[in-house]
Amino acid sequence: MLRSRPALRLAALVTLLLAGSFFAWSTIRPAMPGALTAVLAQEPSRLPLSRWEPGEERTYRFAWDDLQRVELPVPTGAEGSSLTGTLHLEGELTLQALEVRADGARLRLGLKHLDRHEAVVSGQALFPDDASVQAQLPASASAWLELDARGALLAARFSESEPPMFRQFAQTLAAELFPTELRDAPEWSAAESTQTGEVEAQFRFEGDDASRLTRRRTRYQSLRAAGKVDTFQQKLSSLTQFERDPEGHLAGVSLDEVLEATRTDGRPLVSRRMRLRVVFSSREQKPLLAAGEDKPIVRAPAQIAFEGDPEVALLRSQADGMTVDAVLEALASAGDPEAIPDLGGFARRAIAALKLEPERAGELALAFRRKDARPALRELMLDLLVGAGHAQAQATLRELIQSPEAREHAAAHALMVQRAGFLEHPEPETGRMLVELRAQARTSADAGLERASSYALGAVVSHLPPDAPEVPEYLRVLEDSLARADSAEERLHALRALGNTGAEHALELTSPHLRDAEADVRAAAAEALRRSPQEVATRMLLDALEQERERAVQSALLDALDGRTLGLPELERLRGWLVAGRLAPGAESTLLNVLSHRLDGSAPVVQMLQVLSLRPGQQPATRARVLALMAQASARRDG
């Protein structure tokens, strides 16, 4: 049975605040190995990082400030969405040494009390009252921290009685209090696996007595909050200082970290600002554990665990109270999408609501078939079904696209058909519907519908596995269209539809049209090669660019190149083309798009910007953009 909505929402959002991640849920193993493997045969001069005395409980004052912004994944074609979270905790925590062995130590971490407890996610308070604090972060809860012989963190252990928020809080805090990689050396570099992601770090012992260890995180190799985004740009400033007193006990920890991560095209991805201060306050001797006490839930430092269904919890968070009933009511009362307040926010919440109640997707058909429903409102309803994307939504989508109401306006119907191409996981029935619609359009000489169904069919192919049994059939339909095209206009649309597939076979069919007599056809062939998986497509585009004189075709070729991987040889070839004076007037902005996504300080990029800065006849806005990009490229090269 699913948990209540507040509990699910709370558990999902705390993962953002305390771990900075939405997409890395891990399975919890029920037990820890019986013994921790000894890391060192003898105690080194600088390690363990901190000394502990059995039974001694040390109290620390702590202050934790965390501000995060994570861009959420949204359906294709939808507007971007983000979730922001702020966390401010201040109070006292305790660390008691339960065991000290030759191969490591076990510490008990607990919250003594909180003087300040503020946590807000997208405007919603997670601790609206003292009762919620006591329920989620009780003083009675505790975690066991397992350290190796060096003092590095191996794992955190919990019992079933600890609330989910406390588990995540303790695990995240422990990962900052104790490094996961320690060595007996003056300085070293290592890759740490944290809840934020895989990060490269540099460590250094400071002072003659090595009383301070500094850690500087230099670059995140991956970000768990980035989901499936493997390549990203980042600006990272991070410094952690681990202090110990003259006896070698932990005296304090100071952490400051600022991370700004963006996609390669500059769109925001993850932003985080974190500040942690932990300072020793007092100590006292306490009784050790009662015999038989255990904490069977074990989590490694990088492990993000979640009690409950994470997907449902995230959807409830995105829906933010929206229900299918509320969606239907809004659609029924609106004569036009623009009449719906905050249309982008409404669409995102409505999609989440439809995902939570997939069996109700068919109820949108009643609103769609309303006689006074305008085409734009019907298109919005199809957008919601595409965003939901599940089987029930696709069945309703197919039904409505083929309905008499959808065909009332020919232009709008073509746009509705193209919605099927935005499905991330199209069903075979959706592709077959498009094939049938295309055949009907050819019979009735409906050029608009034929093109729309062809475009959507190509997009559907791109989302299907290459070995799906339907792919050859769908590709054959699109290939026949190109073979039978007897006019420049027909070739143009057939090339675009085939290019949507991103299939390997498309390259040999589309590349000859880079030399077509008609400029529009050449541009369409360039667009079709943008998604070609073969690396040779990049060379073909560059070859065509060197021969092309038409501004519109040059722009299409540059735009296609912008969507591909360009290494140093390709950039040098592009520089030679520009220096030779072959860039057509008016195509500068497209070339700047290519360069703006590759401001790595490489010589070809900088030199192309220099050439453009001296190009005569530039528009003031274009020249200003060139100078701004030159400054960015210079900063990245020098930094």
Return left, alpha or beta for 215; rule: phi > 0 is left, psi -120 to 50 is alpha, else beta. beta
**Is residue 563 predicted with pLDDT exceeding 60?**
yes
Q: Which of 205, 270, 260 is nearest to 238 (CA)?
A: 260
- Split at pLDDT 50, 70, 90, the class of 318 is confident
Contacts of 91 (CB under 8 A, 6+ apart): 61, 62, 111, 112, 113, 114, 115, 116, 117
CB 181 within 8 A of CB 192: yes
Q: What is the pLDDT of residue 637?
A: 67
Q: Report the run of H or E that residue 380 belongs to, with start and end.
A: helix 375-388
- Split at pLDDT 50, 70, 90, the class of 50 is very high
Single-letter residue type at 381: M
What is the per-residue pLDDT across 572-599, written as a single tens digit (0 to 9) for each?
999 999 999 999 999 999 999 999 999 8
CA distance 550 to 527: 15
pLDDT averaged over the chain?
Answer: 86
Domains identified in the chain and CATH numbers = 5-31+51-287 (2.30.230), 573-639 (no CATH)
Q: What is the pLDDT of residue 229?
A: 77
- Split at pLDDT 50, 70, 90, the class of 408 is very high
Structure tokens at 616: 């005569």
Among 73-87, 494-508, 562-576, the least confident range: 73-87
What's the pTM?
0.58
Q: What is the pLDDT of residue 407?
A: 94
Q: What is the pLDDT of residue 25?
A: 30
Q: Which of 204, 205, 153 is nearest to 177 (CA)?
A: 153
Q: Which of 199, 85, 101 is nearest to 148 (CA)?
A: 101
What percentage of residues in the chain have a pLDDT greater than 90?
A: 66
CA distance 100 to 150: 12
**CA–CA–CA angle 266, 271, 274 (5° rounding):** 155
CA distance 510 to 482: 9
For 335-346, give the secondary structure using H, E and C.
Answer: CCHHHCCCHHHH
- Report the 10 Å Cβ neighbour count for 218: 12
Burial class (CB in 10 A: 0-12, 13-18, 19+), 154: buried
**Is residue 614 predicted with pLDDT exceeding 60?**
yes
What is the per-residue pLDDT across 90-149, written as a single tens digit (0 to 9) for each?
999 999 999 999 999 999 999 999 999 998 876 677 788 888 888 889 999 999 999 999
- Report the 10 Å Cβ neighbour count for 597: 17
Dihedral sign for Cα atoms in the order 497, 499, 500, 501: positive
Q: Report the run of H or E that residue 333 belongs to, with start and end.
A: helix 324-333
CA distance 19 to 272: 11
> Scanning the structure block, which residue is given the tokens 């000394």?
51
Dihedral sign for Cα atoms in the order 293, 296, 302, 303: negative
Higher-scoring residue by pLDDT: 7, 516: 516
- Split at pLDDT 50, 70, 90, the class of 76 is very low
DSSP 104: E
Q: Which of 380, 283, 366 is nearest to 337 (CA)?
A: 380
Structure tokens at 288: 């050790």
Residue 370 — φ and ψ, nearest 5°? -60, 135
CB 574 within 8 A of CB 542: yes
CB 564 within 8 A of CB 530: yes
DSSP 628: H
> Scanning the structure block, which residue is given the tokens 């003292």?
130
Structure tokens at 133: 């604090």
- Split at pLDDT 50, 70, 90, the class of 564 is very high
Among 172-181, 320-329, 408-417, 597-606, the least confident range: 597-606
Contacts of 405 (CB under 8 A, 6+ apart): 368, 369, 373, 378
**Is residue 536 predicted with pLDDT exceeding 80?**
yes
Structure tokens at 46: 């600088």
Q: What is the pLDDT of residue 568?
A: 93
- Split at pLDDT 50, 70, 90, the class of 638 is low
Return left, alpha or beta for 20; rule: phi > 0 is left, psi -120 to 50 is alpha, else beta. left
Dihedral sign for Cα atoms in the order 407, 408, 410, 412: negative
**Is residue 43 predicted with pLDDT exceeding 50?**
no
Q: What is the pLDDT of residue 32?
A: 38
Residue 301 — φ and ψ, nearest 5°? -55, -35
What percentage of residues in the chain have a pLDDT greater than 70?
A: 87
CA distance 429 to 432: 5
Q: Which of 69, 61, 58, 66 is nearest to 107 (CA)?
A: 58
* Average pLDDT rounded to a whole number, residues 240-254: 95
Q: How far apart are the first and last CA of the chain?
A: 53
CA distance 454 to 458: 6
CB 314 within 8 A of CB 23: no
Q: What is the pLDDT of residue 292?
A: 64
**Is residue 51 predicted with pLDDT exceeding 60?**
yes
Q: Which of 458, 456, 375, 386 is nearest to 418 (CA)?
A: 456
Residues in the chain: 639
Residue 512 — φ and ψ, nearest 5°? -60, -25
* Average pLDDT rounded to a whole number, residues 332-356: 91
What is the per-residue pLDDT across 507-535, written as a single tens digit (0 to 9) for each?
999 999 999 999 999 999 999 999 899 99
**Where are the alpha helices (H) located in 27-151, listed in sequence order?**
130-136
CB 47 within 8 A of CB 271: no
- Report the 10 Å Cβ neighbour count for 425: 11
